[in-house]
Amino acid sequence: MKHANPYKEAMRYIENAREQLKKAGKEDKFYVDEKYVKSACGIAYSGLLKGLDFLFDIKGVPKRQGRKSIIYYQEVLSKLDKKLLNYLNSGYTILHLDGYYAGYKKIAGIETGFDDAKAIIAALKPYSNNGKK
């Protein structure tokens, strides 16, 4: 899974998710259209996982066969980086469970999930020409 710039590739997911959120519309402190919020949360969560896959590859974490579960990511991060584990747990809850599955629409909450994803992806900057190129 070698990429010239893993940071930019993972951030592409976040940018695509932002485009979906724009379509959701806002009213007071909530997004209006649940369909676009769910889609955006799913895309952002995929970007978070993509970032972790790149990071694990860079750090030499042995590849796992088959579909990876949240438990796999949690176990690896518990040994690799506890701070990133906190971002994973929060991002998983907000983006995947609440946003994607439950249709959570509060803007501040969704933004927190996006911040969690971006914090994980930011760990790729040192391996990606500091996010440039």
**Quick one: which of 47, 79, 46, 48 has its CA closest to 62?**
79
How does residue 1 score in pLDDT terms, banded at 50, 70 and 90? very low
Rg (CA), the chain: 15
How does residue 69 score in pLDDT terms, banded at 50, 70 and 90? very high
For residue 30, give the 3-state DSSP assignment.
strand
Instruction: For domain 6-131, give the CATH number.
Output: 1.20.120.330
Distance between CA 18 and CA 129 in Å, rounded?
Answer: 24
Q: What is the percent of the chain where pLDDT is above 70?
A: 93
End-to-end Cα distance, the chain: 18
Amino acid at 30: F
β-strand pairing of 30-31 with 26-27: antiparallel
Q: Which two tokens stand for residue 126?
A: 């040192």
- Averaged pLDDT, 78-90: 97
- Please name the helix (run of DSSP H) or strand (run of DSSP E) that holds residue 27, with its range, or none: strand 26-27
**Quick one: which of 128, 27, 132, 42 has its CA closest to 91?**
42
Q: State the pLDDT at residue 131.
A: 53
- 53-67: b (≥16 Cβ within 10 Å) or e: bbbbebeebeeeeee
Across all residues in the chain, what is the average pLDDT? 93
- Averaged pLDDT, 52-68: 91
Q: Which two tokens stand for residue 6?
A: 């893993």
Q: What is the pTM of this model?
A: 0.92
